[in-house]
């Protein structure tokens, strides 16, 4: 999860998020190179009184500064489109979970099980135990098996919400009357935090998301206990 004074992204916990981090670094390097070149040209023009007569009217330079930006845009667009299609790719998910947004909590339904569903509320500050995070902990976590394709069906019951977990590279709008879907693979065990990312009312800041990725054996034990309690 994020920590104080952090400047970059959170550590990636899914293959798609790793691709997004690589693309971010790729695009940022291009921005740095362009900024350095433009800064150099500005400094050179301001600091010298000499004028090069060959660049006052030069078709060659005009061709270069027309073609070069087009090439740069292509170098940015191609990997961007690739990741865009990767994020929409959903191949034979091992588990489907329906996440429903409410004012102001989330409810989860494991559709592959007959009766496995629960509501997830934020734990109030006064009820937190040592080591838990304020405004991020919930009374019920969304538990998923690691290294398995997970499909999340996202919708809302009242107003617009957004189901977002940065470490997993997932952000999907929850729209009343509409069922959106997202997919992810948790590449390592851990607890990953997110929050509603759409202004949804007075308590928008108080409906966190907690995804816990565990080995498949542990997930089966957890689901059995949840079904027994139900």
Give the CATH number of the domain where residue 162 resides.
Answer: 2.60.40.420
CA dihedral (69, 70, 75, 76) in degrees, to 10, reads: 80
Q: At what angle do helices 15-47 and 59-88 cross, to 10 degrees?
A: 160
Domain tally for the chain? 2
pTM of the model: 0.86
Residues 192 and 176 in one domain: yes
Q: What is the pLDDT of residue 225?
A: 92
Confidence of residue 124 (pLDDT cuts 50, 70, 90): very high
Question: Where does the pLDDT of residue 2 fall: very low under 50, low under 70, confident under 90, or very high at 90 and above?
Answer: confident
Which residue's entry shows tokens 């070069």?
Answer: 68
Q: Is residue 8 part of a domain?
A: no
200 shares a domain with 115: yes
- Is the pLDDT at 52 greater than 90? The verdict is no
Asked if 83 and 109 sit in the same domain, the reply is no
Q: Cβ(145)–Cβ(215) under 8 Å?
A: yes
**Distance in angstroms (rounded) separating the CA atoms of residues 218 and 222:** 6
Cα 141 to chain centroid, rounded: 18
Q: What confidence tier does 91 reach under pLDDT thresholds 50, 70, 90?
A: confident
Arithmetic mean of pLDDT, 151-179 = 95
| Residue 147 within any structural domain of the chain | yes
Same domain membership, residue 223 and residue 128: yes
Q: Does any domain span residue 20?
A: yes
Q: What is the mean pLDDT of residues 125-133?
A: 92
Question: Binning pLDDT at 50, 70 and 90, where does residue 49 land?
Answer: confident
Where b means 16+ CB within 10 Å and e means fewer, 151-183 reads: bbbbbbeebebbbbbbbbbbbbbbbeeeebebb
Q: What is the pLDDT of residue 230?
A: 64
Residue 5 located in a structural domain: no
207 with 177, same domain: the answer is: yes
Would you place residue 89 in the very low, low, confident or very high pLDDT band (cuts 50, 70, 90)?
confident
Q: Is residue 7 part of a domain?
A: no
Domain that holds residue 30: 15-48+59-88
């Amino acid at each position: 999860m994020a920590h104080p004074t952090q400047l970059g992204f959170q550590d990636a916990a899914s293959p798609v998020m790793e691709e997004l981090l690589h693309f971010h670094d790729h695009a940022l390097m291009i921005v740095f190179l362009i900024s350095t070149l433009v800064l150099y040209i500005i400094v050179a023009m301001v600091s010298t009184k000499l004028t090069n007569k060959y660049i006052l009217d030069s078709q060659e330079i005009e061709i270069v500064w027309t073609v070069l930006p087009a090439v740069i845009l292509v170098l940015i667009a191609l990997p961007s489109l690739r990741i865009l299609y990767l994020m929409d790719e959903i191949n034979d998910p091992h588990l489907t979970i329906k996440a429903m947004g409410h004012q102001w909590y989330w409810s989860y339904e494991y559709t592959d099980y007959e009766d496995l569903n629960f509501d997830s509320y934020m734990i109030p500050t006064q009820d937190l135990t040592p080591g838990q995070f304020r405004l991020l902990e919930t009374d019920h976590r969304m538990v998923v098996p690691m290294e398995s394709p997970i499909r999340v069906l996202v919708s809302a019951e009242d107003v617009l919400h957004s189901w977002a977990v940065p470490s997993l590279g997932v952000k999907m709008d929850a729209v009343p009357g509409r069922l959106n879907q997202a997919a992810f693979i948790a590449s390592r065990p851990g607890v990953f935090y997110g929050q509603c990312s759409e202004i949804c009312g007075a308590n928008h800041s108080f409906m966190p998301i907690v995804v816990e990725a565990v080995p498949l054996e542990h997930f089966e034990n957890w689901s059995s206990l949840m079904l027994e309690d139900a």
